[in-house]
Chain A
C-alpha cells in the first residue's frame, strides 16, 4: 500500500539558510499534519491543513510557513535556520472521514550547522 512520502530524507543547512521540506500524502487523503521531533524528544505538532486550508496551528515559529497544494501535497518552508531547528520533521496524513488514524511518513532529518 502507498505510504506518506517525504523529501528529502536528509538535509544539511547552515545557520540563517532556508529549507523546504515536502510531503506527499497517501492517495485520497485530504488532511496533512506536520510534527517536529527534537533529539530524544517526543513529536510536537506544528501545523495542519485540510483541503488546502490551514486547520490548526501549534508551536510553529514565525520563521516557518507551510501550505497545501491542489494535489494535496504540502511544503514546510523554514527560513533563518537556527541550530535548534535541527530535528526530525514528520508529515502525517489522514482522510477527514476517518481522521482517527494518522499515517506518518519516514521523516526528514534536518541538521543545521
Chain B
C-alpha cells in the first residue's frame, strides 16, 4: 500500500527561486528521508530526519517534520537549473525492518 503522497506532483520555477515540496504519510515512522532522482537514473539520498526531530538543514536544503500531522516538507533555496529532478520522500515505518515506503514524488523543473 502507498504510504506517502507528495504535493505538488509537478512544480516549475525560475532559477534563484525557492521550491517547496510536501509529503504526507499514514503510519508511525522511525524516520523520513528525501531522495532525488534524475530522469531514469538512480536515487540519491539527500537528507534524513528522525521522528524526534522537527527541522534539519543541509546546504540549500531544509526539511521539516510534523509527526502530529504526519507530514514533511522539503525546501530548496536559491534553486539552480541542475536541481531539476524528481524528489521523493520515503518513510521507514516502525516495525517494518527498515524497508522504505516511497511517496509519489514531485517533478521539479527549474528554468534558467
Contact = CB atoms under 8 A, between A and B. Distances in A.
A90 B40 contact: no
Interface residues of B, number: 26
A102 interface: yes
Contact of B99 (A58, A100, A103): A58
A106 B100 CA distance: 17
Interface string B78-91: 00000000001010
A102 B45 contact: yes
Interface residues of A, number: 26
A102 B41 contact: no
Interface in B39-78: 40-45, 48, 50
Interface of A: 31, 33, 35, 42-45, 48, 50, 55-56, 58, 88, 90, 92, 94, 99-107, 109
Q: Is the interface of A mostly helix, strand, loop or mixed?
A: strand
A107 B92 CA distance: 21
Contact of B31 (A55, A100, A107): A100
A107 B43 CA distance: 9
B92 A106 contact: no
Contacts of B45: 101-104
A23 to B, nearest CB: 12
Nearest to A48: B99
22 contacts: A35-B100, A42-B102, A42-B104, A42-B105, A43-B90, A43-B100, A43-B102, A44-B102, A45-B99, A45-B100, A48-B97, A48-B98, A55-B97, A56-B98, A56-B99, A92-B43, A99-B98, A100-B33, A104-B43, A104-B44, A104-B45, A107-B41
